[in-house]
Structure 1
Amino acid sequence: MKFGKRYSKATVLMAMLHGVVIGIAAVALIGLVLFMARGKDEPSASGKEVPTGGPAAVETPEAAPTPPEKTLSLFAKQHGAFSTAEAAAVFIAEDPSLTKAAVIHAGDSYFVWSAVGVKEGEIETSDYEGTYRKAFSVNTSACGAIGAGKLNDVLAETEIGQIKNLTAQQNEANEEGEMKDFYKNLTSITTFTTDMRILRLQLLSHYSSTNNCVKFTF
């Protein structure tokens, strides 16, 4: 006796096709679930990690740029350059015309200058004297720590009357502290010269040799 039921070829083929479709759909569904789960674990496309919990990330602000140091361009009347302060001093002592000259120590050299101007035309040179005009820049930022914070302003000034008014006002106010020495130096210089070129020279000589707060650039 036969208990099996006969199926036509068309029925068998449809059953097989139905099974294939169901299998493909199942694989596609599993793949979609895995893709979505992977997308949640990976960082965002921007390259920045996205926290899944806890406080939001805080970006550290960039540090503010350091302002450039203030420099002043000047011109000097130079008579010579020496390797020692003694040699420069002897050179000045041997020339009576250099009574108001000064020694400027910059780097490894000692320069003999007799005038400092803010403009090139202020400095006259002479082949007979053997002098020439030397351009340079100074930075006096470090002088503020010793009470000479106004040195740069005084060096840039062109009228001796403005300097005298400044020292008179400070003397009336009886300025004390570190600034007192600065105004005292100004008063001393203006008692023997009214030439701003000499005043600049003497200030540069004093604060570059005694206090070493003037930075020269040639």
Structure 2
Amino acid sequence: MENMNNNLKMSGSGISGGGKYNDVFISGSGKITGDLDCVYFKSSGSSKVIGNLKAETIKISGSSKVEGNVEVKDIKISGSTHVIGNLKSENVSISGSTHIDGNLYAQEVNISGSVIIGKNCEAECFNANGGFKIQELLNAGQITIRLGGNCFVKEIGGEHIDIRVNPMNNSIFRKAIDKIFNTKAELTTDLIEGDDIYLQNTNVNIVRGNNITIGTGCNIGLIEYKDEINISDSSIVKDQKKI
């Protein structure tokens, strides 16, 4: 472990107290006890922060756990990360496995891995290509989801909502894998409410919006629409009404 020019580098197994640093690099097994405030945090090994983590940039390619809140401008996760508290960021990019016990607040969220959010996800733009689970509300202006597995969210609210099956899931190989392991690329939720909505492979109790298009593979209890509605013959809609 080195601490030079207000930088912290942990390349072996070590423990350090929290505090303010410029750059923090962890490539071994590192534990930081206390709140950490830095400009740049990079972990390519196994890291644990017992406290809150605040930074300008965070890059995680190993295994990391933060036993507090994370506040950062840009965060990129390609490894495995567990945040006990809330994650607040301008830009979030996740291609690994991430578990956030609290809320996720961001301007832009890009997910191509696996994410579990214990409470709400609020963003300006939410893009997901893979599997995710949000225990409460997903709220974003622009929501684009390309289903790559089983997805769940309690409720969805937004302006423009586009939910479709990832084109890769239509391949013969992928269909064979899904059949063997009894999996399906689909989203399950109680409520979807927005201005312009397109849905595919979605199970939902209530859909409410202005312009609604229901593609293939949906199972819907009730649709409430204001302007236009289009429904695929291969989807099930139990009831619909114009409001």
The TM-score range, normalised by the shorter chain, is under 0.3
- Scaled by the length of structure 1, the TM-score of the pair is 0.19
Higher relative contact order (CA 8 A, sep 6+): 1
- Scaled by the length of structure 2, the TM-score of the pair is 0.17
Instruction: Indicate the structure with greater strand content.
Output: 2
Asked which structure has the greater CA Rg, the reply is: 1
